[in-house]
């Protein structure tokens, strides 16, 4: 650092004097309207083209509207006294207008704007120098055009969407969509979760996802802006930004809070969700009516997954500041509930738990339970959502690099939680400084001895679960194969893939003219020999020979009937049909022994846990296991039922175990665990299992690790 830089840092320039020509003046682009918030009348004001909305009481607004740039503070005080009979001190009025001037409320001339801009640049130059060369990837925003012309252009062509007829049409679409979703929820719900967990996506899939997300996001925000235009407002800010590198559009519809009533504001808030549900309903019709495997069918299904249940669950949730939150604020009648409730809970924690001298904001008694409940639920949901984003990034990165997939996920986690970690550390520092003297006086000799003894007990007592972690593969506990025992031509198929069947249920029907002819002939022969037997009895002929022929014909008939019955295969067990495109067999001929389909009983699943050979000696039947399926958030409990050597190589679904460095020569055993299926689990799913070995102490685990090392390397 040279002398000039040192002087510049030590002796900063004096701030330029605030240049003001005349007296405070309302902005010509100011719009305002009187509304009701929290049961009280307020005046909402907004300067078109600027960010932020101002809220005043009616009494404050009566003072503000008198400033026209020509009246001095003394003139305004005199007018108020003459009009309302209330005497104001001009110095108080000057202080009041000065506060609004700091908020850039008053109109500024070009000279005043230039001076204000210079002051902002001078005030922030050191911060800019400190951050020079750094890029904030948490929130990257791109400038945009003034979109009001865009909405003025499309509104005459799109205002029909606010008609009663279109509302009825949308209602019919939604009813149809809900019916299709309910009928196919097992598939749609499972695919939605898998779609958003990014467990098995290529780079092309990710690119397609972001493109669809951007297109639908543009229409979502356009719906907000168009609705604001419909109710008399203007939209002067619309653009695109990245939040943690996630693309998103934004639109400023603040003027809806100036011109629209509560119901109209609610419609403006819900317009984005509404248009996405319309897209979802139209995509549902396409998906329902197009053949599986076609391009239109697959694209429509992806749009359904993006705009369906996920939109309702995430966007409609009032616990995070999205559309559902603002709709909830309009319904309950007051805004900023997230900030107010979080601040109130934070103050309670500081005063009641940490006993810190913090002033608690006043909240009416009837609102306090609601504030605390909302703050807890909102905080838990927000952090859970952020953790889900980190987990999704790990799923994506581990797809391309199983060994190093945690690195980008950890980097994203640090990026997301950096400010929160700093806030927590500052809070703990404040707590320490507040309690330091009291803590030092409390930590006497006997207490230190007791604390040391407690730590020693914590180290030697068996308080922790010692576990073995391994990958697992899910498969049905019971399954059976249905094969053709006789040749024939398939004439009808009565089931399809994924359909649940009962034991003994007819699956398909085949035709075999030879078998049918043999059966008819055996039935006829059995009837004929029966008549000959009867005639021999009546005429006292050779009854033994007739009886023997009748019995032989009966045996032939039973064999022919049994063989012909094989032309109608039935389900051997209760379960689900696993063969794809089963109905394509109609009209084809199949030979004896041909595999027709499999039947899997998915009510109870078996997890084949692949345990490395070095850890299998610590596992025993009956051990408890926690199983976390890839893409799921909650683990499931099960018991180990059997342990045996793995038959053959690892399944392809677990081949990533071989890609980890050092694991190429590992041998595996399989530990079976049985768990009930709640409808989410499917055959072929993979995940991570933690098998509980025993309760152990930290000392025992450390000694065991050292002993195992010595046994392997020192013996």
Give me the pLDDT at residue 250, please: 78
Average pLDDT, integer, range 588-601 = 85
- pLDDT score recorded for residue 201: 65
Q: Do 358 and 387 share a domain, yes or no?
A: yes
> With bands split at pLDDT 50, 70 and 90, how would you rate the model's confidence at 22?
low
- Asked, for residue 526, whether it belongs to a domain, the answer is yes
The pLDDT assigned to 3 comes to: 36
Partners of 243 in beta bridges:
139, 246
Mean pLDDT over the full length of the chain: 77
Whether 654 has a pLDDT exceeding 70, the answer reads no
Residue 267 domain flag: yes
* Predicted local distance difference test score (pLDDT) of residue 168: 92
> Both 176 and 281 in a single domain?
yes
Residue 447 belongs to some domain of the structure: no
Q: Is the pLDDT of residue 99 over 80?
A: no
Query: Is the pLDDT score of 655 beyond 60?
Result: no
Same structural domain for residues 223 and 261? yes
pLDDT by residue (tens digit) across 373-385? 988 998 888 888 7
pLDDT exceeds cutoff 50 at 255: yes
Same domain, 192 and 257: yes
Residue 666: what pLDDT? Answer: 66
DSSP 360: P
Most confident of 299-303, 361-365, 616-620, 677-681: 299-303
Domain assignment present for 505: no
Domain annotation covers residue 121? yes
Question: Using one digit for the tens of pLDDT, what is the confidence trace for 439-467?
Answer: 777 777 787 788 888 888 888 887 777 88
Find the domain containing 145 and state its range: 139-332
Distance set, CA 489 to CA 224, 459, 582, 593 (Å): 60, 73, 14, 14
Instruction: State which of 130, 157, 176 marks the end of a domain.
Output: 130
Checking if the pLDDT of 387 tops 70, the result is yes
Q: Is the pLDDT of residue 531 over 80?
A: no
What single DSSP character describes residue 568?
S
| pTM score of the predicted model | 0.58
Q: Are residues 160 and 268 in the same domain?
A: yes
Question: What's the pLDDT score for residue 297?
Answer: 86
Domain boundary among 112, 130, 148: 130
- Say yes or no to pLDDT of 346 above 60: yes
Strands (E), 528-616: 575-577, 589-590, 595-612
Quick check: is 461 in a domain? no
User: Do 522 and 397 share a structural domain?
Assistant: no
Assign 631 a pLDDT band (cuts: 50, 70, 90): low
Extract long-range pairs of 80-88: CB within 8 Å, 24+ residues apart. Answer: 88/63
Same domain? 250 vs 384? no
> ∠524-526-531 over CA atoms, to 5°?
95
As for how many domains the chain has, the answer is 5
Phi-psi label, residue 439: left if phi above 0, alpha if psi -120 to 50, beta otherwise: alpha
617/682 same-domain check: yes
Last residue of a domain, one of 332, 358, 378: 332
pLDDT of residue 243: 59
From its phi and psi, is residue 505 left (phi > 0), alpha (psi between -120 and 50) or beta?
beta
DSSP state of 160: G
Assess whether 324 and 199 both reside in one domain: yes
Whether 508 is covered by a domain: the verdict is: no
Task: Please say if the pLDDT value at position 114 is more than 80.
Answer: no
Lowest-pLDDT range, 126-135, 519-528, 606-615?
126-135
Residue 51 is predicted with a pLDDT of 65
Confidence of residue 134 (pLDDT cuts 50, 70, 90): very low
- In 34-147, which ranges are continuous DSSP H helix? 58-64, 73-84, 90-102, 110-123, 125-130
N- to C-terminal Cα separation, the chain: 61
- pLDDT band of residue 245 (cuts 50, 70, 90) is low
Q: How do residues 65-75 score in pLDDT, each as one tens digit?
A: 778 777 887 88
pLDDT in tens, 281-292: 999 999 888 887
More confident site: 664 or 187: 187
176 and 324 in a single domain? The answer is yes
Which stretch, 39-43, 126-130, 654-658, has highest mean pLDDT?
Answer: 39-43
CATH number of the CATH domain containing 109:
3.90.930
116 and 159 together in one domain: no
Let me know whether 51 and 80 are in one domain: yes
Look at residue 130 and tell me whether its pLDDT is greater than 50: no
- Asked if residue 207 has pLDDT above 80, the reply is no
660 in any annotated domain:
yes
What pLDDT sits at residue 143?
52
Write down the pLDDT at residue 110: 52
- Looking at residue 664, what is its pLDDT? 47
């Amino acid at each position: 650092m040279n002398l000039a830089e040192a002087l510049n840092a030590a002796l900063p320039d004096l701030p330029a004097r605030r240049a003001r020509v005349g007296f405070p003046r309302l902005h010509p682009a100011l719009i305002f309207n009187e509304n009701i918030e929290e049961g009280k009348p307020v005046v909402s004001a907004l300067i078109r083209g600027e960010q932020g909305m101002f809220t005043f009481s009616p009494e404050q607004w009566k003072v503000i509207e008198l400033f026209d740039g020509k009246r001095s503070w003394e003139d305004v005080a005199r007018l108020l006294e003459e009009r309302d009979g209330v005497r104001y001190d001009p110095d108080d009025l000057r202080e009041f207008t000065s506060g609004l001037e700091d908020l850039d409320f008053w109109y500024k001339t070009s000279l005043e704007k230039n001076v204000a801009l210079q002051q902002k640049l001078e005030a922030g130059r050191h911060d800019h120098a400190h951050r020079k060369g750094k890029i904030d990837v948490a929130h990257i925003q791109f400038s945009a055009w003034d979109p009001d012309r865009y909405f003025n252009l499309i509104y005459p062509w799109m205002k029909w969407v606010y008609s009663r007829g279109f509302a009825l049409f949308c209602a019919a679409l939604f009813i149809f969509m809900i019916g299709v979703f309910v009928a196919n929820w097992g598939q749609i719900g499972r695919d939605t979760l898998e779609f958003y967990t990014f467990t098995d996506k290529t780079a092309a899939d990710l690119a397609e996802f972001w493109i669809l997300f951007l297109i639908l996001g543009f229409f979502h925000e356009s719906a907000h802006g168009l609705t604001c235009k419909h109710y008399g407002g203007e939209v002067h800010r619309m653009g695109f930004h990245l939040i943690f590198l996630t693309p998103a559009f934004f639109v400023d519809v603040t003027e809806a809070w100036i011109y629209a009533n509560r119901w109209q504001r609610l419609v403006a808030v819900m317009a984005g969700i509404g248009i996405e549900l319309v897209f979802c309903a139209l995509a549902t019709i396409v998906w329902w009516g197009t053949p599986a495997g076609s391009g239109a069918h697959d694209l429509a299904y992806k749009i359904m997954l993006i705009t369906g249940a996920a939109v309702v669950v995430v966007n409609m949730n009032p616990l995070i500041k999205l559309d559902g939150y603002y709709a909830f604020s309009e319904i309950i009648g007051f805004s900023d509930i997230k900030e107010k409730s979080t601040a109130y809970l934070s103050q309670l924690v500081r005063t009641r738990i940490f006993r810190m001298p913090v002033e608690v904001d006043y909240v009416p008694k009837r609102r306090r339970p609601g504030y605390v409940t909302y703050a807890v639920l909102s905080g838990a949901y927000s952090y859970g959502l952020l953790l889900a984003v980190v987990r999704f990034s790990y799923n994506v990165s581990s797809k391309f690099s199983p060994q190093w997939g945690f690195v980008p996920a950890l980097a994203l986690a640090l990026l997301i939680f950096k400010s929160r970690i700093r806030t927590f550390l500052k809070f703990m520092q404040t707590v320490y400084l507040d309690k330091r003297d009291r803590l030092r006086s409390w930590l006497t000799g006997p207490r230190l001895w007791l604390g040391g003894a407690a730590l020693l007990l914590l180290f030697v007592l068996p308080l922790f679960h010692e576990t073995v972690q391994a990958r697992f593969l899910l498969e049905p506990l019971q399954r059976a194969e249905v094969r053709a025992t006789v040749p024939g031509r398939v004439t009808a198929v009565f089931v399809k893939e994924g359909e649940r069947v009962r034991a003994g249920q007819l699956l398909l029907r085949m035709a075999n003219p030879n078998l049918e002819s043999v059966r008819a002939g055996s039935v006829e022969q059995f009837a004929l020999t029966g008549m000959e037997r009867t005639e021999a009895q009546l005429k006292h002929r050779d009854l033994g020979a007739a009886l023997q022929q009748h019995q032989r014909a009966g045996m032939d008939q039973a064999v022919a009937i049994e063989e012909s019955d094989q032309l109608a295969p039935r389900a051997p067990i209760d379960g689900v049909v696993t063969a794809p495109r089963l109905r394509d067999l109609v009209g084809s001929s199949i030979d004896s022994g041909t595999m027709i389909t499999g039947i899997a009983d998915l009510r109870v699943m078996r997890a084949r846990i692949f345990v490395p050979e070095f850890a299998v000696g610590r596992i025993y039947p009956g051990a408890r296991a926690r199983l976390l399926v890839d893409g799921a958030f909650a683990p499931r409990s099960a018991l180990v039922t059997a342990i045996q050597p793995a038959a053959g190589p690892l399944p392809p679904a677990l081949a990533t175990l071989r890609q980890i460095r050092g694991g190429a020569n590992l041998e595996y055993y399989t530990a079976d665990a049985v768990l009930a299926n709640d409808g989410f689990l499917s055959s072929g799913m993979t995940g991570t299992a933690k098998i509980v070995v025993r309760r152990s102490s930290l000392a025992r685990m450390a000694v065991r690790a050292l002993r195992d090392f010595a046994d392997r390397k020192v013996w």
